[in-house]
Amino acid sequence: MSTIHDFKVDDWLRRLLPGRCAFCLAACETTAPWCSACHAALPWNLAACPVCAEPQLGGHRCGHCLRRMPAFEAARVPLRYEGELAVLMRRFKFQASPRAGSLLLALLEEALREAPRPEALLAVPLHPHRARQRGFDQARWLAERLSTRLDIPLVVAQRRRDTPSQRGLDRQRRGRNLRAAFRVEAALPSEVALLDDVMTTGATLDALARACRRAGAERIEAWAVARTPMTN
């Protein structure tokens, strides 16, 4: 859960270097925490599959989605997991850096500014055992703040099994690893969005989307900050 301390940290970060870019410390032209040059240089995921956001040329539906549609209709993932963005994400995910998290949240919020608002937002949950080990749930951290800023109700999903790490698994093994891994006990509204920090093959978000459909959701979008290239 969010705490008063969390929001004080966010306020402190905004006041730390007012008017200075968080990446290069140059003067900012707007109230955003970045200058236009650094913002333009980020690895934007512009030509991506409209369903799973796989980075590719042309922005057409990718071969994986043509062969098998995921349980969500569309993905909104504004950045690619590379370069400066990957460094920032690792600091957030593995070091619980509030500075990195606040920047990533601001970038995601900017990218979603014109997106239709769903009726509920669900973060990809960690299993309680994994959450205790790590001590930080990055998707929940992002979702709590995004829920407040975009005025979208937050619904909590549960991870039923402490699944092995997805790292190093191919697309098919990731899907098997996550079969029936999630549960949503609350009855969901028709339109929901699912949130994770990084989307790799989309298997985790696909598995959570299936649990959401069982709970009544009809249109589901997958949201994440960054997308890695698709693996086979």
Query: Can you tell me the distance from the alpha carbon of 11 to that of 198, in angstroms, rounded to the nearest whole number?
Result: 25
Domain span holding position 204 = 42-227
Average pLDDT score, the chain: 85
Nearest to 138 by CA among 32, 228, 225, 204: 225
Most confident of 9-23, 95-109, 171-185: 95-109
Is 30 among the domain residues? Answer: no
Q: What is the domain-level CATH number for residue 105?
A: 3.40.50.2020
Is 62 among the domain residues? Answer: yes
The secondary structure of 195-228, three-state, reads EEEEECCCHHHHHHHHHHHHCCCCEEEEEEEEEC
Max CA distance (Å), the chain: 49
pLDDT of residue 71: 96
Query: Can you tell me the distance from the alpha carbon of 199 to that of 135, in angstroms, rounded to the nearest whole number?
Result: 21
Number of domains in the chain: 1
In tens, the pLDDT along 52-70 reads: 999 987 778 999 899 999 9
Nearest to 225 by CA among 154, 166, 146, 134: 146
Is 12 among the domain residues? Answer: no
Is 98 among the domain residues? Answer: yes
Is 88 among the domain residues? Answer: yes
Q: What is the mean pLDDT of residues 4-22?
A: 56
Among the residue ranges 30-39, 62-71, 176-185, the one predicted with the least confidence is 176-185
Q: What is the mean pLDDT of residues 98-111?
A: 94
Query: Can you tell me the distance from the alpha carbon of 189 to that of 163, in angstroms, rounded to the nearest whole number?
Result: 28
pLDDT of residue 127: 72
DSSP3 helix / strand / coil % (the chain, rounded to 5): 40, 15, 45
Is 150 among the domain residues? Answer: yes
